[in-house]
Amino acid sequence: MTAPTTLGTHVEVRDLVVRFKNRTALEGLDLNLDAGVHGLLGPNGAGKTTLMRVLGTIARPTSGQVAVLGHDLGNQRALRDVRRRLGYLPQHFGYYPRFTVREFVEYFAWLKEMPSASIPLAVDRAIERVGLADRADDRLKRLSGGMLRRAGIAQAIVNDPDLLLLDEPTAGLDPEQRVDFRHLLRAIGVDACVLVATHLVEDVAVACTEVSLVNGGRTVFRGTPDELAAAGEHAPDGELNSGDSPIERGYTAVLRADRAR
Amino acid sequence: MTMATWRIFRTEFVRGVAPVALVAMAGAAVVLLAAEASAWVGRWGALAEQIRVILLVLAPVAVTAGAWQGGREHRRRMPELTGTTSRPPFHAVFMAWGSTTVGVWLGLGVAWLVAVLLVAPNATYSGGSWWWTLVVSLLGLAAASAIGVCVGRLVPGRLVAPIAGVLMFVVGGVATGRSDGLSWVVPAMGYQSRGLSSLDTGFQLLQMGWFAALAATALVLAGAIRTSLAVVPAVLAAVVAVPIMTGPGDERWQPDPAARALVCAGERGAEVCLTRVNAFLMDEAAPRVQALLKRWDDVPGGFERAVDSSALSSDEWLIEPDGQTGRRTAVLDITGGLMTWDGGLIPEDDPGITIETVFGWNLPGVLIQSCETAGRFDDVPLEIWAVGTVAEEWAGGNPDVGTVRVSDVGPGEQPSSAETGPGPEASAAQHLAALPEAEQKVWMGRYLEAASICDADTLLALGGELQ
């Protein structure tokens, strides 16, 4: 399913439980990810964002084991090393509106403790890769929603992360930008592990080597986009209209099957 | 510090609150300094003191700026992103504090440089370790912005910054209103020596240590992953604070003999002496005071010399005749607002207090001192003070007390009823001024003689002669 890497398993999650007061966001989730582009699908409230936040070292597991880039996240001393090799774009990300694109990306390169000498080139490269080179010196407050999203992606990839976590990265991008973005994901996914949480299953179908479907805080499907699409083909006839594309039908079929259990 | 860190600092400085803080500090400082220019113009030490006085307003500005910068991550919903980065949060906190503090310092620096233009060309004394007072001011502002950053980072909310500033102002106001050791724990100070006294360097270092430890405590609280580490600088701050708080208040100021050394102009008989720190006024003060002194040439017990009161201890303020010559030395209290904003003396025709007015105060001064010495200050008839006022006006060269100067009334204007008729003292003063010069001097000689022994009957008779 995924190409072997010298790094070994990038993400290893065992029986992950995350609770917030009275609500359980993740309930015994298991997940293994290696290099490649991985899609994370699931309905609203399935636990996608919570999983991303746990892998992004922001949220703490209630129980279970989470190893990222070879380090147990329960080990506080290892967090710094993990974070240096992490890229993260949350669904709703904050920014300093008076910063220019270049300053914003440079600031995160600094926060990620990149070597000083490599920062200027890395910043230019990240901005170039998201197609904002001509707006690099514009202030963030002057950018459109799609451009802001791309600036967010640039900060996430500036350190060439070994694990890139993107929550709804294509929201606000126009079709052409989404095509470019898929190319970018595939390029990054050659060496790194990219986890993309999205509702846009066509992005997953085109860009991802593997897809995981989460529902009710658990992983209910794991396979390639083709395998997910195939799950739709085996659905009862009455459910054939549950999507416009094979992968949408597969997505719906898996979810309904899980709910029926 | 790496090149990248410098670039981030520059970005923080340019894009953060620092430019606004710089402008606010510079504007507020210039206005506040200009409002009290006579308190520091021409004097390095007095300027440094005035800077610390206006920290009552400027330190709250620094707290507000720090809190705004410290609360930026919350306002911009950045913790979700910054929380995934490896650099210890202390670095970002330090960067926020550093950029804000530099902005605050530069703002004060701009105002100070403007003030320097009014001090450097005039100053006649540059000693007194005034630069330590300035350095303490800078550290006080650094501590204020650190406290602001800490509050802004730990307490989310857009109103936190202005509220923190107001609280700092209240704390500063309460502390500077005290005269004990607690007055030294805030950056501002309430007492001013106007460059005539100085603080012990060891104490200034102690204050610097206090503000540095306070800033370190706030920054560690704001940025350390283990906030318990803040105990170390907090304990250090407490150790430094004890001798400050339990020590004296205004008594920390020690007279600076070099600043108070007399610089004199003129011959005996019309000699004017100012302290070295005020000597920049000599060129203007000497001819005006000498003109007043010359009026006493043939007056028994009259004044032959005028001395800056700053050079005198309290017992030297007694305006008694010299044992050998029988002549007196006038005391000039020029610590008040006798100076213009550009370091000159208030002009003679100014309706306010001038150096002539101050010279005139010596006449009732003789009477007050003798009556106090005789223990009859509260028993003498009130009318004798009016006689003292007449003498004061003559000595100060102004017989128009209580009246409208002709030059103040425009063509066709009528003075208001309250201003028209001269009061009894003014009438008497004008009467005295209308007498032949020799008779004026005789009257003043008799006044001095009677005033110096608190002789109420003679004084009342002198007053009666002018009705």
- pLDDT at site A127: 97
- What's the CA angle centered on B279, arms B276 and B281, to 5 degrees? 160
Condensed to tens digits (0 to 9), the pLDDT of residues B11-58 reads 999 999 999 999 999 999 999 999 999 899 999 999 999 999 999 999
Q: Are residues B302 and B247 in the same domain?
A: no
- Average pLDDT for residues A125-141, to the nearest whole number? 96
Distance from CA of A211 to the nearest CA of B (A): 24
Closest Cα in chain B to A87? B84
- Same structural domain, B250 and B267: no
Domain count, chain B: 2
Does B316 have pLDDT greater than 80?
Answer: no
Question: How many whole angstroms separate alpha carbon B118 and alpha carbon B116?
Answer: 5
pLDDT score of A240: 53
- How large is the ipTM? 0.90
* Residues B287-312: tens digit of each pLDDT: 999 999 998 988 888 999 999 988 88
Flag if B4 and A56 touch (Cβ within 8 Å).
Answer: no
Do B244 and B116 share a structural domain? yes
Greatest mean pLDDT range, A7-16, B214-223, B368-377? B214-223
Residue B3: list chain A partners with CB under 8 A: 116-117
Distance from CA of A223 to the nearest CA of B (A): 28
Residue B388 or residue B214, greater confidence:
B214
Residues B91 and B142 placed together within one structural domain of the fold: yes
When comparing pLDDT for B227 and B67, which is higher? B67
Domain assignment present for residue B408? The answer is no
Which amino acid makes up residue B227? T
Name the token pair of B175.
């502390």
> In this model, does residue B335 exceed pLDDT 70?
yes
Mean pLDDT lowest among A1-5, A94-98, A171-175:
A1-5
Interface size between A and B, measured as CB pairs under 8 A: 81
Confidence (pLDDT) at A6: 41
Percent of chain B with pLDDT over 70: 93
**Under an 8 A CB cutoff, do A90 and B76 touch?**
no
Angle made by CA atoms B114, B115, B118, in degrees to the nearest 5:
105
Q: What is the per-residue pLDDT for A234?
A: 66
Q: How far is CA A32 from the centre of its chain?
A: 14
CB of B376 less than 8 A from some CB of A: no
Instruction: Please give the Cα distance from B142 to B211 (Å, whole number).
Output: 8
Let me know whether B137 and B36 are in one domain. Answer: yes
- Establish if A92 touches chain B: CB-CB under 8 angstroms: yes
In a domain, B412, yes or no: no
Record: contact B85-A103, CB cut-off 8 A: no
Task: Return the pLDDT at B418.
Answer: 42
- pLDDT reported for residue A236: 60
Best residue in A55, A107, A112, A158 for a mutation probing chain B (most B CBs within 10 Å): A107
In a domain, B90, yes or no: yes
As beta bridge partners, residue B445 has none
The confidence score (pLDDT) of residue B435 equals 86
C-beta atoms of B81 and A57 within 8 A: no
Main-chain dihedrals φ then ψ at residue A33, nearest 5 degrees = -130, 135
pLDDT 10s digits, A188-235: 999 899 999 998 888 888 889 999 999 999 999 999 999 999 988 866
Question: What is the reported pLDDT for B400?
Answer: 53
pLDDT of B132 reads: 96
Q: What is the mean pLDDT of residues B75-86?
A: 92
Are A93 and B77 in contact (CB < 8 Å)? yes
User: Considering only CB atoms, which chain A residues are within 8 Å of B4?
Assistant: 106, 109-110, 114, 116, 119
Tell me which residue in A58, A94, A116 faces B2 most closely, judged by beta carbons: A116
Domain extent at residue B299: 263-403+419-465
CB atoms within 10 A of CB A261: 5
Query: Do B357 and B428 belong together in one domain?
Result: yes
Closest CA to A124 of A85, A153, A150, A154: A154
Q: Are residues B214 and B183 in the same domain?
A: yes
Pair of tokens at residue B216: 């370190």
Inter-residue contact B300 to B450 (CB < 8 Å): no
Q: Is A169 on the interface with B (CB under 8 A)?
A: no
Nearest neighbour of A90 by CB, restricted to B4, B81, B86: B81
Cβ atoms of B170 and B194 closer than 8 Å: no
Nearest of A2, A55, A51 to residue A225 by alpha carbon: A2
Q: A237: pLDDT confidence band, cut at 50, 70 and 90?
A: low
Which of B11, B82, B87 is facing A103, going by the closest CB pair? B11
The predicted pLDDT at position B342 comes to: 87
Q: In what order do the strands lie in the sheet with A210-215?
A: A86-89, A163-167, A193-197, A36-41, A210-215, A218-223
Any A CB within 8 A of B80 CB: yes
Averaged over B387-396, what is the pLDDT? Answer: 89
Q: In terms of domains, do B219 and B278 share one? A: no
pLDDT of residue B422: 56
Average pLDDT rounded to a whole number, residues B248-253: 92
Q: Which of A70, A73, A88 is nearest to A7 (CA)?
A: A70
Of A94, A111, A119, the CB nearest to B77: A94
The pLDDT confidence band at residue B350, using thresholds 50, 70 and 90, is: confident
Residue A89: strand pairing partners: A166
Q: Does B10 touch chain A (CB under 8 A)?
A: no
Residue to mutate among B14, B76, B82, B84, with most A CBs inside 10 A, is B84
- In this predicted structure, the answer to whether residue B180 has a pLDDT above a threshold of 70 is yes
- Whether B411 maps to a domain, the answer reads no
Please name the residue of chain A whose CA is at the shortest distance from the CA of residue B2. Answer: A116
Q: Where does the pLDDT of residue B465 fall: very low under 50, low under 70, confident under 90, or very high at 90 and above? A: confident
Q: Which residue has the higher pLDDT, A68 or B421?
A: A68
Nearest-CA neighbor of B73 among B9, B155, B145, B11? Answer: B155
pLDDT at A8 over 80: no
State residue A4's pLDDT score: 36
Domain end among B214, B237, B254:
B254
Place of tokens 């914003």: A104
- Does residue B336 have a pLDDT over 80? no
pLDDT of residue B376: 84
Q: Of B227, B254, B281, which residue sits at a domain end?
A: B254
B238 and B270 inside one domain: no
Share of chain A above pLDDT 90, in %: 70
CB contact under 8 A, A117 and B3: yes
The rounded mean pLDDT for chain B is 89
Same domain membership, residue B340 and residue B229 = no
Question: What local confidence, expressed as pLDDT, does residue B321 receive?
Answer: 80
Query: Same domain, yes or no, for B149 and B223?
Result: yes
CA separation for the pair B137, B156 (Å, rounded)? 29
Say if the Cβ atoms of B8 and A90 lie within 8 Å: no
Verify whether the Cβ–Cβ distance A96 to B15 is below 8 Å.
yes
Does some domain include residue B84?
yes
- Report d(CA B287, CA A51) in Å as an integer: 87
HSE-CB of A209 using CA atoms within 13 angstroms: 21
pLDDT of residue B378: 86
In a domain, B358, yes or no: yes
Residue A196's contacts (CB-CB under 8 Å, 6 or more residues apart) are A37, A38, A39, A40, A166, A169, A185, A203, A204, A207, A208
State whether residue A95 sits within 8 Å of chain B by CB. yes
Confidence grade of residue B399 (pLDDT, cut at 50, 70, 90): low
**pLDDT value at A71 more than 50:** yes
Q: Which residue from B15, B78, B87 is facing A94, i.e. has the nearest CB?
A: B78
Name the closest residue on chain A to residue B17, using Cα atoms: A98
Count of beta carbons in the 10 Å neighbourhood of residue B285: 23
Chain A positions touching B79 (Cβ under 8 A) are: 94
The answer to whether position B230 is within a domain reads yes
pLDDT digits (tens, 9 = 90+) for B442-462: 999 999 999 999 999 999 999
Domain boundary pick from B214, B229, B254: B254
A209 touches chain B (CB under 8 A): no
For residue B127, tell me if it sits in a domain. yes
Q: Which residue has the tokens 């989404």?
A: A178
User: Scanning the structure block, which residue is given the tokens 């009290």?
Assistant: B36
Q: Assess whether B208 and B292 both reside in one domain.
A: no
Query: What are residue B194's phi and psi, to 5 degrees?
Result: 60, 40
Is the pLDDT at A158 greater than 70? The verdict is yes
Residue-wise pLDDT for B84-101, tens only, equals 999 999 999 999 999 999
Which pLDDT value is given to residue B398? 67
Asked if the C-beta of B84 comes within 8 angstroms of chain A's C-beta atoms, the answer is yes
